[in-house]
């Protein structure tokens, strides 16, 4: 039975990778940090099938001991401070974890008696390209393994250091060390402060809120009005204010990303380690979409075609330096690994919305638990509505058709 060691098993990718490796018959061990709250939510369904060891990649001796004790065949280095925005406010931490942590793992492998029995995967990133891209003859922008790196954030600089270390350890010490230059990949398990999940979480919350409101007042129709930062719900019959919901606050909507589904991307990680020769590969769908296009797809799933009323642009979410355009050319990965993504951009957005709507429905079955409204705004009672508007209510549209304006 092959043994895999995953640093970052509690993260989005770690959880999908662990599931996939279990299906392939691996013995899986995951390294988790000591924290005051439970962080194993994403792997709770497989906890009984895997080993968990406590560790932090910034502690080199700790990493060395874990590798010596567990004797893995494959080591996956996924642990990182992975939020680009946060790396501007916590550059030192980002450097220590995202660059230094990887060096600790590489050193632990290099000094092990089993150095050449282990294969190593590093989670590199399209952020390495930063500002830079190449162009096809038709003027289409893309990035591949030959595109020069021009990082735009402390996160990307730390990842670039780690990426170069991996290359040096591969070429200098002959280690089986590969880096996957993965473009953005999302999922139902994506961290909630990345833009795609932030959007779908908001949609889930919004739908759950409306449903709770509807149940509370036994209403089929709302009228909505928009203040600067809130969506105000009024009774469609009496026009009285029922409640309000905060708008979705976002930063730059014009950046483009090449978004795939994490489940497809962890397959690529494993494929790289099955090759006789280690190497670096770009993993991407080859399609770029702006944040606006993701908003279009996600809101379309709940039948809202004009989301502009629901979103506020907030300078807080702008970054000091931005990566404007990422679109990967995965030719090498397809030719050599045989890797292709299976989940499309639209399916990704729909899956994430579906998941968050379902989750919020469960959580928000009671208006009292979630309402941002105060008792002051809850002015209408079921009896008023029924008295005043039985006929109008009979003509109400289905739930999802919120009337704007």
Catalytic residues: 125, 127, 155
The nearest distance, CB 43 to ligand NAP, in angstroms, is 9
287 sits near ligand GDD (criterion: CB under 6 A): no
Q: How far apart are CA 190 and CA 198, in angstroms?
A: 9
127 sits near ligand GDD (criterion: CB under 6 A): yes
Binding ligand NAP by CB under 6 A: which of 28, 67, 80, 333? 80
326 sits near ligand NAP (criterion: CB under 6 A): no
47 sits near ligand NAP (criterion: CB under 6 A): no
Per CB under 6 A, which region of 7-15, 43-51, 111-119, 318-326 contacts ligand NAP? 7-15
Binding ligand GDD by CB under 6 A: which of 6, 21, 242, 291? 291
Binding ligand GDD by CB under 6 A: which of 71, 230, 319, 378? 319
The CA–CA distances, whole Å, from 320 to 3, 34, 257, 351 equal: 42, 32, 18, 32
Per CB under 6 A, which region of 60-68, 211-219, 318-326, 338-346 contacts ligand GDD? 318-326
Q: Pairing state of beta strands 27-32 and 74-77?
A: unpaired
> Which listed option, ligand GDD, ligand NAP, none, makes contact with residue 193 (CB within 5 to 8 Å by class)?
ligand GDD
| Helix (H), strand (E) at residue 13 | helix 12-23
> Which listed option, ligand NAP, ligand GDD, none, makes contact with residue 58 (CB within 5 to 8 Å by class)?
ligand NAP
DSSP calls for 325-385:
B--B--HHIIIII-----S-HHHHHHHHHHHHHHHHHHHTSSHHHH----TTT----HHHH
Q: What angle do CA 279, 281, 284 make, to 5 degrees?
A: 170
Looking at the Cβ atoms of 181 and 273, the one nearer to ligand GDD is 181
> Which listed option, ligand NAP, ligand GDD, none, makes contact with residue 291 (CB within 5 to 8 Å by class)?
ligand GDD
The nearest distance, CB 204 to ligand GDD, in angstroms, is 16
The nearest distance, CB 122 to ligand GDD, in angstroms, is 12
282 sits near ligand GDD (criterion: CB under 6 A): no
Q: Pairing state of beta strands 289-290 and 256-257?
A: antiparallel
DSSP calls for 243-298:
EEEEPEEES-S--EE--EEHHHHHHHHHHHHHSSS--EEEE--S--EEHHHHHHHH
82 sits near ligand GDD (criterion: CB under 6 A): yes
100 sits near ligand GDD (criterion: CB under 6 A): no
Binding letters toward ligand GDD, positions 21-60, x by CB under 6 A: ----------------------------------------
Q: Pairing state of beta strands 260-261 and 185-186?
A: parallel
If we measure between CA atoms, which residue out of 245, 253, 7, 1 comes closest to residue 120? 7
Q: Where are the beta strands (DSSP E) in 45-90?
A: 51-54, 74-77
> Which listed option, ligand NAP, ligand GDD, none, makes contact with residue 8 (CB within 5 to 8 Å by class)?
ligand NAP
> Which listed option, ligand NAP, ligand GDD, none, makes contact with residue 179 (CB within 5 to 8 Å by class)?
none
Q: How far apart are CA 199 and CA 297, in angstroms?
A: 11
User: Interface residues for ligand NAP in 90-149 (CB under 6 A)?
Assistant: 97, 101, 123, 125
C-alpha 7: how far from its chain's center?
17
Per CB under 6 A, which region of 61-69, 161-169, 247-255, 348-356 contacts ligand GDD? 247-255
Q: How far apart are CA 276 and CA 272, in angstroms?
A: 9
Looking at the Cβ atoms of 125 and 243, the one nearer to ligand GDD is 125
| Helix (H), strand (E) at residue 46 | none
Length of the chain: 405
> Which listed option, ligand GDD, ligand NAP, none, makes contact with residue 11 (CB within 5 to 8 Å by class)?
ligand NAP
Q: How far apart are CA 189 and CA 205, in angstroms?
A: 16
The CA–CA distances, whole Å, from 387 to 213, 378, 379, 381, 392 equal: 18, 17, 15, 10, 11
Binding ligand NAP by CB under 6 A: which of 18, 50, 78, 118? 78
Q: How far apart are CA 298 and CA 224, in angstroms?
A: 20
Spatial contact of 370 and 207, defined as CB atoms under 8 Å apart: no
> Which listed option, ligand GDD, ligand NAP, none, makes contact with residue 251 (CB within 5 to 8 Å by class)?
ligand GDD
Binding ligand NAP by CB under 6 A: which of 184, 196, 360, 371? 184
Q: Which residues bind ligand NAP (CB under 6 A)?
A: 7-8, 10-14, 33, 35, 39, 56-58, 78-82, 97, 101, 123, 125, 182, 184-185, 191
């Amino acid at each position: 039975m092959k043994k895999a060691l995953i640093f970052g098993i509690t993260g989005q990718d770690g959880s999908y990778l662990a599931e996939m490796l279990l299906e392939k018959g691996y013995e899986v061990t995951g390294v988790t940090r000591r924290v005051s709250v439970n962080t194993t939510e994403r792997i709770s369904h497989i906890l009984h099938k895997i080993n968990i060891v406590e560790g932090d990649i910034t502690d080199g001796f700790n990493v060395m001991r874990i590798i010596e004790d567990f004797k893995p065949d494959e080591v996956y280095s996924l642990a990182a401070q992975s939020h680009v925005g946060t790396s501007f406010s916590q550059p030192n931490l980002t450097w220590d974890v995202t660059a230094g942590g990887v060096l600790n793992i590489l050193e632990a492998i290099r000094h092990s008696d089993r150095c050449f029995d282990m294969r190593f995967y590093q989670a590199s990133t399209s952020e390495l390209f930063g500002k830079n891209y190449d162009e096809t003859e038709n003027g289409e922008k893309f990035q591949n393994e030959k595109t020069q790196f021009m990082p735009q954030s402390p996160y990307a600089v730390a990842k670039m250091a780690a990426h170069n270390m991996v290359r040096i350890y591969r070429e200098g010490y002959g280690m089986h060390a590969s880096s996957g230059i993965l473009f953005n990949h999302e999922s139902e398990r994506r961290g909630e402060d990345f833009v795609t999940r932030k959007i779908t979480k908001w949609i889930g919350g919004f739908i759950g809120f409306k449903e709770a409101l509807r149940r509370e007042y036994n209403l089929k129709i709302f009228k909505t009005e928009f203040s600067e930062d809130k969506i105000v719900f009024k009774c469609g019959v009496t026009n009285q204010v029922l409640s309000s919901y905060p708008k979705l606050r976002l930063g730059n909507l014009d950046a483009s990303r090449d978004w795939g589904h994490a489940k497809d991307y962890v397959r690529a990680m494993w494929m790289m380690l099955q090759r006789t020769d280690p190497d670096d590969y770009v993993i991407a769908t080859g399609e770029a979409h702006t944040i606006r296009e993701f908003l279009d797809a996600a809101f379309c799933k709940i039948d809202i075609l004009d989301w502009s009323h629901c979103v506020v642009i907030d300078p807080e979410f702008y970054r000091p330096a931005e990566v404007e355009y990422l679109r990967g050319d995965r030719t090498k990965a397809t030719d050599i690994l045989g890797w292709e993504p299976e989940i499309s951009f639209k399916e990704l957005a729909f899956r994430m919305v579906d998941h968050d709507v379902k989750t919020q429905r469960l959580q928000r079955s009671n208006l009292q638990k979630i309402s941002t409204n105060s008792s002051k705004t809850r002015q209408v009672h079921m009896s008023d509505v029924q008295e005043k508007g039985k006929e109008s209510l009979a003509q109400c549209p289905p739930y999802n058709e919120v009337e704007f304006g």
